[in-house]
Structure 1
Amino acid sequence: MKKINWGIVGCGRIAAQFCEDLAYTNNGVAYAVAARSGEDATAFASKYGAANAYEGYQALFDDKNVDVVYIATPHNFHFKNASDAIKASKHVLCEKPITVSAEECKQLSLLAKKHDVFLMEAMWTYFLPAIQKAKQWVEQGRIGTIKHVKADFGYPVPFNPDGREYNPDLAGGCLLDMGIYPLAIANYFLNNDLENLHVRANIRYKGVEDDVLITANCGDVMVSLATSFQCRLGNGAYIIGDKGYIKIPDAFRAYECSLYELDDLIERFEDGRQSQGYSFEAQEVGRLLSENKRESDIMSHSQSLLLQSQMERIKALF
C-alpha cells in the first residue's frame, strides 16, 4: 500500500501530537512541514522525520509530492490556510473549529467541491474506538430511547491577555476551543440540531468567555453541556436512555466506555491503544483518499456547518 504524504501546517502542540500519532497508522507519513519561521519548520521536520521544511505555507501547498494537508494553526487562520491549500488542489484535514463562522464554513465546503478535493474538520473524538462503540450500543437499542445527554469539558487556562486563548483577535474563548467537544458529542448521538437554547456565560476579558453553561432540547431529549477555562470539569459524557445509560469518562480522548442497565454494569469497552488518539482520524482520512472520497460520512461538511451555526447561536446569547 502506498502511504500518503502529509503536509503539516503549523508547528504547535497539536501538530506535534498529530505527527507522533502518524507512526501508529499504516497509510501515512509526515512528509513536509511549514511554519512562518523557517527555523521552526526545520527543527520540527527534523524531530518528526519529515523530508522537507518550508518557511511560509504556500511553498508546502505548491509541493506536488504533498497529498493531504493537516492545518494546525490558530483558529482564525483556518479559513485562509484551508482555502489556499484547496486552491492548490490539496486535500485538507483542518483542526477544529474548521472556521470561526458558519458563512466561512459554507464557503470552504463549496470551494472544496469546486476544486474536487477532500475536506474534513479534524473532530478526532468521533473516530475514537470507544465513541464508535458507544454509538453502536445506541444504534443497537441497548439503552432504549435516548432521554438525556450530558457532556462537559474544561480545565484551568491561566489568564494571559497576550495568549491565544483570551485574545479576541485570535478567536479566543472556551466555546470555540473546548466547548465544541460537548456540542459535537450531542450532535453525534442525537443526529439533529438543538432547540430552545439557554446559555449562561462568564465574560472575562474583551468579550472573551471563560465559562459557558448550555441547556437545550432535541425533540424530547434534554441536553446539558458545559465548558470552562476556569476549572477542570468532569470532562465526561453520559448518554442516558429509558433502559440504561452509557458513561464515557474523559470523553474527548475516550479510552473507554461503559454500558449500564439502571445501576448495573453490563459491558465495558477499552481500546487499549498506544497512540494519543489522533491516529484514528488520520487512518480514516488515508482510507477515504484511497477510495477517492471527497467527504467523510462520520464528520461531514454538514456536521461542521451544524457546529458552526450552533456556536454562533450560543455566542449571540452571551
Structure 2
Amino acid sequence: MKKIRWGILSTGRIANQFAADFCAVRGASVHAVAGRQLAAAEQFAHRHQIPNAYQGYEALFSDPNIHAIYIGSPHSLHFEHAKRALEAGKAVLCEKPLTINFDECSRLQKIAADNNAYLMEAMWTYFLPAIKKALAWVADGRIGKIKHIKADFGYPQRPYDASRREYDKSLAGGCLLEMGVYPVAIAWLFLRQDPESIQVSSRLAPNGVEDDLSWIAKYRDCTATLGTSFRCKLQNWAYIIGDEGYIAIPDFWRARECSFYVLDERVERFIDNRQTQGLCFEAQAVTDDLLQKKTSPSQVTAEDSLAFARHMDWIRAQF
C-alpha cells in the first residue's frame, strides 16, 4: 500500500478543520466525504477539493477505495459510526471522546480487535510538538518528580439552549465530554496512573447537564487540580509541576509553545511555529501506522482511551 485513502464522516466544524489540515499529511489523500445532506457534502467536497461526496454514511463504509475513516459526528453517535466502519474493515480515527462511557469504549475496542481493525481516538493534543517537548523535559528529569498537575479548559457556551449540541441530552451534552476530556487526558499523559480518589464540584444547566466542573484527583504522590466550564472562559493552561521545576503550557489543548521554569526563572522556551491547526499530526500518525501495516495505534492506544472513559465515568458518578 503506497498511499492511504481517507474518508471523512461529517461536514461539521471539526471535520472542516481536519480537512483543511490534510494538505500537510504525507502519503495520504482524502477520497470522499459523507454528510446527512448531499448538498452539505458537496459543498464540503468543493471547499476542500475532495473528489467524492456522499449522502449518508453507508456509501462511505462500503467504498472499496477507502482505507481509513475520520469520524467527526456528535459524541452520542461515535460508537455506532465507529462500529460500522470497523466492521466494514476500515481503519478508524474517531473524535474525542471516543464514546460516551467506559462500557461503550470497552465494547468498541473489542469490535476493533475482533475485526483486526485499527481504532484510534483523535486526541490531537498528544501529537503536538509542544506537548512532546514537555514530555521530553519530564523524561529528562528537568522538573524532578511530578507533584502537581493543574489544567482546565472552558469557553462560555451562550446563550443556553437545551437543543444546542453542547447542551443536548440526547447528544450526550455537557462540558465533561465536550471539553473536560482534555484535562483528563493531559493528567493521564503525564502520570499514566489512576487516581486513588476524586473530589468533584459541579454545577448544572437548567436541563440537568453539567456546565461547570472542578475536580481534585489524588494520586499516590501527586495531586491533579482540573476543571472545565461552559459558563466562563477559563485560563486553559496546563502546569506540570515537579519538585525541581515546572512546565507551563498555554492553551495546552492546542499547544503551540511550552516553557520550563526553575522557581521564577524561565530557563527554556519552545515554540513550534506550525502553519496548521495541528490536526495534521494525528492524521499523519495514523497514516504512518497504516503504511507500516499496524493494526493498533502507536499513540493514543486502547489503554489510553479506556483510561479517559474510566476517569470521566468516575467524575460523572459524583454529580
TM-score over 0.5 (shorter chain): yes
Matched, 1:311 2:312: yes
TM-score norm. by structure 2 comes to 0.98
Residues 253-286 of structure 1: CA deviation (Å, up to 9, x unaligned): 0000001111111111111100001011011111
Matches within 5 A, 1:46-125: 46-125=46-125
Distance 1:61 1:106 in 2: 22
Distance 2:296 2:130 in 1: 22
Matched, 1:146 2:132: no
Distance 1:192 1:297 in 2: 19
| 1:294 to partner: Cα distance | 1.8
Question: Could you tell me whether the CA contact under 8 Å between 2:3 and 2:291 is conserved in 1?
Answer: no
Aligned to 2:240: 239
Aligned to 1:6: 6
Aligned to 2:197: 196
Larger deviation, residues 27-36 vs 13-22: 27-36
Question: Could you tell me whether the CA contact under 8 Å between 1:30 and 1:48 is conserved in 2?
Answer: no
Aligned to 2:44: 44
Structure 1: runs of 5 or more not aligned: none
| Equivalent residue pairs, number | 318
Distance 1:205 1:285 in 2: 40
Larger deviation, residues 55-64 vs 293-302: 293-302
Aligned to 1:176: 177
Question: Could you tell me whether the CA contact under 8 Å between 1:166 and 1:205 is conserved in 2?
Answer: no
Residues 125-179 of structure 1: CA deviation (Å, up to 9, x unaligned): 0000000110011011000000000000001101122111111110000000000
Q: What amino acid sits opposite 1:188 in the alignment? A: L
| 1:205 to partner: Cα distance | 2.6
Spell out structure 1 runs of 4+ moving beyond 3 A: none
Question: Could you tell me whether the CA contact under 8 Å between 1:98 and 1:121 is conserved in 2?
Answer: yes
| RMSD (Å) for aligned C-alpha atoms | 0.9
Question: Could you tell me whether the CA contact under 8 Å between 2:32 and 2:45 is conserved in 1?
Answer: yes
Question: Could you tell me whether the CA contact under 8 Å between 2:197 and 2:218 is conserved in 1?
Answer: yes
Distance 1:97 1:78 in 2: 8
Give the 3-state SS of the residue equivalent to 1:23 in structure 2: helix
Distance 1:296 1:87 in 2: 17
| 1:252 to partner: Cα distance | 0.4
Question: Could you tell me whether the CA contact under 8 Å between 1:143 and 1:241 is conserved in 2?
Answer: yes
Question: Could you tell me whether the CA contact under 8 Å between 1:157 and 1:230 is conserved in 2?
Answer: yes
Distance 2:56 2:196 in 1: 43
| 1:117 to partner: Cα distance | 1.2
Distance 2:26 2:299 in 1: 20
TM-score norm. by structure 1 comes to 0.98
Aligned to 1:278: 279
| 1:27 to partner: Cα distance | 2.2
| 1:296 to partner: Cα distance | 2.1
Structure 2: runs of 5 or more not aligned: none
Give the 3-state SS of the residue equivalent to 1:211 in structure 2: strand
Give the 3-state SS of the residue equivalent to 2:120 in structure 1: strand
Larger deviation, residues 26-35 vs 271-280: 26-35
Q: What amino acid sits opposite 1:142 in the alignment? A: R
Question: Could you tell me whether the CA contact under 8 Å between 1:214 and 1:224 is conserved in 2?
Answer: yes
Larger deviation, residues 159-168 vs 7-16: 159-168
Q: What amino acid sits opposite 1:269 in the alignment? A: F
Q: Percent of aligned positions with the same letter in both sequences?
A: 50
Q: What amino acid sits opposite 1:100 in the alignment? A: I
Residues 157-202 of structure 1: CA deviation (Å, up to 9, x unaligned): 0112211111111000000000000010000000111221000110
Give the 3-state SS of the residue equivalent to 1:104 in structure 2: helix
Matched, 1:227 2:228: yes
Distance 1:216 1:81 in 2: 32
Question: Could you tell me whether the CA contact under 8 Å between 1:154 and 1:231 is conserved in 2?
Answer: yes
Give the 3-state SS of the residue equivalent to 2:200 in structure 1: strand
Distance 1:201 1:164 in 2: 20
